[in-house]
Amino acid sequence: MQENKKKTEQELFVLTEENKKLNRENDDFKREEVKLQEMVQSQKDEMTLLQNKLRQQKAQLQRQNVVVDVLSKQVVSVSSYLLRFSLCR
């Protein structure tokens, strides 16, 4: 009877220590989960900023392309005029 009680106490001790270990691991996993969630949110925020910046740069590029197109047409027009003017002389 005493031996059975001693064995049960030992098993209880082992199970208690295992439970403590598992609780520590679980706490570690929970902390890691929070860190990962924060990292993911940070990356989402950074992605949003980069997407906004890309949209702004695309809009700026479109405006610059319009300016280049207009100026190119003006250069062609002036060149044609100068060519005709020089031919008329």
Report the residue count for the chain: 89
Tokens at 7, concatenated: 């064995």
Q: Is the pLDDT of residue 89 over 90?
A: no
pTM of the full predicted structure? Answer: 0.62
- C-alpha–C-alpha distance, residues 70 and 76, integer Å: 10
Q: What are the C-alpha distances in Å from 60 to residues 13, 54, 83, 84?
A: 70, 10, 34, 36
Domain-by-domain residue ranges, the chain?
A: 1-89
Tokens at 38, concatenated: 């924060």
Tens-place pLDDT, residues 76-88? 888 887 777 777 7
Query: Which residue, 31, 36, 11, 8, is CA-closest to 23?
Result: 31
Tens-place pLDDT, residues 6-62? 999 999 999 999 999 999 999 999 999 999 999 999 999 999 999 999 999 999 999
